[in-house]
Chain A
Amino acid sequence: MSKLLLQRLMLVLGVIALIVVLIDLGISIAATIPSTTPARVEQVKAGPYQLTVSLYRYPASAGYGLPFAVAPSSATSGSPTYQVYSVPGSGVDATPVRATFSPDPNVHNGIKGAAEITVQGPWTLQITVNGSQGQSVAIVSFPATTLPAIPIWLGWLVGFLPFYILGGFFLMQMSRRKNEEANLDTVSPHPTIQM
């Protein structure tokens, strides 16, 4: 393969990689934006508070945010405050993550936000409500899935990519330098020794 062809191939790969990065960035941002209709709606009780919890992706996508909305089903006195965590189920190697949310402008005392789901498997959304009738917790269970698994050896093969390129680069540099030194030798019979 000629040098120019190799460079053009690298250029094409670079452009594809850049496009992939930008697409993934777009998907990550889009994942946190709720769609118009929820994928699942659950009626749950947090002690005295009746809540409607909307999940905008079901099952959730591991590695991305899960958009959700919480609305009180019945009229509540005062303004309740919320705390929402995504909590991994048993056997899921993950830590609880605090969800980010803001008041829902369309629902009185409601909130909407996104909960990060890091690993595939069973998860729960743990919603703590603190209102005039005290503090209570509601739990909503949901599964999280991800793309099909690639073999671990393939992961390593891809992960070492920079080292293949680096190795190839150093080999090319060494062969170029040897050629240059050989050319110098033909010009000067006593080449100077450098570090």
Chain B
Amino acid sequence: MAQQSIGETRLARSSTSHTLSLYTVVKVRFISALIISLSSLICFLGTSWDIQWHAFVGRDRTLIPPHEMMLSGIGLSGIAALLLVVTETIWARQNRSSTKQVTPFAGLFSAPLGAYIAGYAALNSAVAFPLDTYWHSLYGIDVTLWAPFHVMIISGMALTGLGAAYLFASAANLASRIHAPGSKRTAYAGMVVAFATTLSLFMLLVFNGLQPDYTINLGFISLSLFPCLIGLLVGCILIAAASLLPWQWAATSVFGVSALFVIIDQLAIPPALTLLMQLEQLTFLKEQHATPPQISIVSVSWPLLTIVAAVLIDLVIQRAKKQNWSKRQLLTGLVVATFLCTIPVTVRSPLAVLNLISILGVAGVILSFALGFLGTFMGVQLGQGIGKTMRTLEG
């Protein structure tokens, strides 16, 4: 009897220490995810600054401050992810019972899935940087955002944000398991920030779809990739957030944080460019502007109807829950809500859709939006899938 009692005490102590250990793991994952999210934000602002620099000054040195800012973000997120993988692997080796809370990799590592995603994404961007310099050295500096290694750099930076979202999800699930509602709520809030950085960074790749030079010419018809890309992106990110977060306005929150980043961008980038021009004793490109620009190219190119789509997505989900919609009804509602963002409206060009008609013709626009519908459908399905995966991730 006495032996059993001592045994029970040992078991209880061991269980308490394991819970304490899990609590530390939640904290470590949360802090790592936060560092990676902030790094992605640094990357977003650095890229926006770089876009501004290319447009108004022209690309000059490889290590200009905007590039340094982007590289700092990439480096910081890569180091944070690597440290987390090493820390959690050590922890998992010491706690054999922790197999459910980690994802094994290559038979050597045991860490959260998000850490691998963020690490590889950062490495991808780091590799793309010298490749981009090589590409510029071959083909000149007047390369657009839709250049091979620009796509590689930006998508890598965006995926570090997605890695952070997976990390926050993992922390939230673990917090739920150890009954720590405060930590769970904080992790959910972090997830909104991580999704917003992913959305903002990927959005940088969508802009060019509206440029007349970047239409796809099929010989008999031309089409724009903008509706397809934005439908895929918004569907994927906002639906993932809305299907995962237990809040009524999850998609709107992600858009709101993303809009906040755009406001920061507008407030910071034009003065930063002017200041740097003075410090570096450079002049603006003659064909562009003689005076310092007061606007941020990224902020005025932001697709405005995304806000309408975000609100509609949340409303559809609320109604679906109240009226117990079938899976098919829900999918239809979400695709229709998301599809609205494929109509191009920006501050820079409020009537961009009319420009599209003049460039592509009516048939080209109809085909572009048909492609946009397909992209939206895929994006919504992908978003629902990501949401489902994250809900049960490493909990």
Which residues of A pack against B, CB within 8 Å? Answer: 4, 7-8, 10-11, 14, 17-18, 20-21, 24, 28, 62-63, 92-98, 116, 118-120, 144, 146-147, 149, 152, 155-156, 158-163, 165-166, 169-170, 173-174, 177, 193-195
Contacts and interface: CB of A to CB of B under 8 A. Distances in A.
28 contacts: A7-B107, A17-B124, A17-B126, A21-B129, A63-B136, A63-B137, A93-B142, A94-B58, A94-B141, A98-B280, A116-B61, A116-B62, A118-B136, A119-B136, A144-B137, A146-B138, A149-B138, A155-B149, A162-B121, A162-B152, A165-B124, A169-B117, A174-B385, A177-B389, A195-B242, A195-B243, A195-B317, A195-B384
Contact of A147 (B62, B134, B242, B282): B134
Contacts of B135: 155
B27 interface: no
A7 B156 CA distance: 19
Contacts of A118: 59-62, 136-137, 141
A97 B385 CA distance: 48
Given A159-B152, A194-B388, A165 B120 contact: yes
B61 A97 contact: yes
Contacts of A177: 385, 388-389
A95 B59 contact: yes
Contacts of B148: 152, 155-156, 158-160
B2 interface: no
Contacts of A11: 105-106, 108
A184 B108 CA distance: 30
A162 B159 contact: yes
A95 B58 contact: yes
User: Which of A92, A118, A162 neighbours the largest number of chain B CB atoms within 10 Å of its CB?
Assistant: A162
A92 B387 CA distance: 49
Nearest to A6: B106
Given A63-B136, A146-B138, A194-B388, A166 B159 contact: yes
B123 A159 contact: no
Contacts of B327: 193
A7 B106 contact: yes
B281 A4 contact: no
Contact of B106 (A10, A18, A146, A173): A10
Contacts of A28: 62, 130
Contacts of B126: 17, 21
B247 to A, nearest CB: 13
Interface size class of B (residues with CB under 8 A): 35 or more
B127 interface: yes
Given A21-B130, A158-B131, A193-B327, 9 more contacts: A4-B107, A7-B105, A11-B108, A17-B123, A156-B148, A159-B149, A160-B151, A162-B124, A163-B155
Contact of B134 (A95, A97, A146, A169): A146
Contacts of A98: 60, 280-282
B141 A119 contact: yes
Nearest to A86: B60
A116 B130 contact: no
B140 interface: yes
Nearest to B121: A162
Contacts of B141: 93-95, 118-119
Given A21-B130, A156-B148, A162 B156 contact: yes
A94 B385 CA distance: 45
Nearest to A166: B159
B243 A158 contact: no
A194 to B, nearest CB: 7
Contacts of B159: 162, 166
A146 B137 contact: yes
A160 B243 CA distance: 28
B330 interface: yes
Contacts of A166: 159
Contacts of B151: 159-160
A170 B123 contact: no
A28 B137 CA distance: 14
Nearest to A32: B63
Given A170-B385, A195-B387, A161 B124 contact: yes
A161 B152 contact: yes
Contacts of B140: 92-94, 119
Contacts of B121: 162
**Among B106, B107, B326, B389, which residue has the most Cβ atoms of chain A within 10 A?**
B106
Interface string B49-67: 0000000011111100000
B299 to A, nearest CB: 24
Interface string B382-395: 10111111010000
